[in-house]
């Protein structure tokens, strides 16, 4: 009897293991994420030379290619210079797409809707030449307006012009690590730069876990996530580490269209206020602040 019981137990454990692998293989437990990159073509912070900016841009392109990622990048017109304009074409040639991030990267909380809309139009002067299949837009700083009339005016314009608003589910403020990293590297303090880089990765993982948990709490299940990062110096050194973490933890890289096919993004943005929030928070907030 003991032998029969042992055989049954072993068989049961084997079935459990088999089912687990089958579920993993079919992707039922796989989390999905699209990589979106703000502030193309490059950021200098008045510290990096144009050659340094071009070098870090190309490093990021190589990382994306290594991981077979098709990203959505958001162009800021005022950042385009004669020496870096070709980078946008390299980005597109690599299979990525470009969206509108306004010409001056203005804060909608601080300007009126007419001025803001004109800035979107101005940015389109360059983007229209790129022959993108769709028109994507992202609000700088994720600010959608601190007044209802202002918020509605911009949304109405975007709808009229057939823009697809690209929200963010995983927000992270990673840019605050970048400037510290740039200064440390430029000053030659490589040990401090390495420490900042490690904290950056820890921060990004923490934010990912937080918003994944929040999505499940609010939505009842995971969503197709949209990650916000920037075309900046620190990512040219640490994006590969971050993407490897996603892979090792069961995340699948998808496109923006796949991400936005999630019904979650049809939920109404209920937030009105000054903050730049993840869309997960926007559908869950009603207060004004």
Q: In this predicted model, what pLDDT tens digit does every residue of 48-63 receive, in sequence order?
A: 999 999 999 999 999 9
Residue 175: per-residue pLDDT? 86
pLDDT of 141 > 70? The answer is yes
pLDDT of 176 > 50? The answer is yes
SS (H, E, C) 229-243: EECCHHHHHHHHHHH
pLDDT of 246 > 90? The answer is yes
Residue 96: per-residue pLDDT? 98
DSSP code, position 262: S
Mean pLDDT of 184-212: 97
pLDDT classification of 286: cutoffs 50, 70, 90: low
Among the residue ranges 9-23, 114-128, 150-164, 165-179, the one predicted with the least confidence is: 9-23
User: How do beta strands 97-100 and 72-75 pair?
Assistant: parallel
> Can you tell me the distance from the alpha carbon of 140 to that of 101, in angstroms, rounded to the nearest whole number?
6
Domain ranges (residues) in the chain: 29-282
pLDDT of 24 > 90? The answer is no
pLDDT of 19 > 70? The answer is no
Domain 29-282 in CATH 3.50.50.60? The answer is no
pLDDT classification of 14: cutoffs 50, 70, 90: low
Residue 30: per-residue pLDDT? 79
DSSP 3-state of 27: coil
Residue 9: per-residue pLDDT? 54
Mean pLDDT of 107-125: 97
């Amino acid at each position: 009897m003991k032998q029969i019981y042992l055989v049954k137990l072993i068989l049961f454990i084997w079935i459990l293991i088999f089912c687990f692998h089958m579920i993993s293989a079919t992707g039922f437990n796989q989390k999905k994420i699209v990589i979106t990159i703000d502030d193309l073509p490059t950021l200098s912070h008045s510290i990096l030379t144009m050659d340094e900016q071009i070098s870090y841009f190309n490093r990021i392109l190589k990382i994306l290619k290594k991981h077979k990622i098709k990203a959505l990048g958001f162009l800021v017109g005022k950042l385009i210079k004669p020496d870096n304009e070709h980078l946008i074409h390299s980005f597109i040639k690599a299979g990525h797409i470009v969206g509108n991030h306004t010409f001056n990267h203005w804060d909608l909380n601080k300007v009126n809707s007419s001025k803001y809309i004109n800035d979107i139009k101005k940015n389109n002067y360059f983007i229209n030449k790129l022959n993108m299949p769709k028109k994507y837009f992202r609000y700088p700083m994720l600010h959608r307006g601190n007044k209802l009339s202002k918020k509605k005016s911009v949304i109405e314009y975007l709808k009229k012009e057939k823009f697809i608003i690209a929200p963010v589910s995983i927000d992270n403020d990673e840019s605050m690590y970048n400037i510290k990293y740039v200064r440390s590297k430029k000053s030659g303090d490589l040990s401090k730069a390495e420490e900042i880089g490690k904290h950056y990765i820890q921060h990004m993982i923490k934010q990912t876990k937080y918003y994944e948990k929040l999505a499940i709490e609010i939505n009842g299940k995971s969503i197709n996530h949209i990650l916000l990062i920037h075309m900046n110096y620190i990512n040219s050194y640490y994006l590969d580490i971050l993407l490897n973490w996603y892979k090792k933890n069961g995340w699948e890289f998808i496109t923006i269209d796949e991400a936005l096919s999630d019904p979650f993004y049809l939920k109404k943005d209920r937030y009105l206020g000054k903050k730049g929030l993840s869309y997960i928070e926007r559908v869950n907030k009603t207060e004004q602040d």
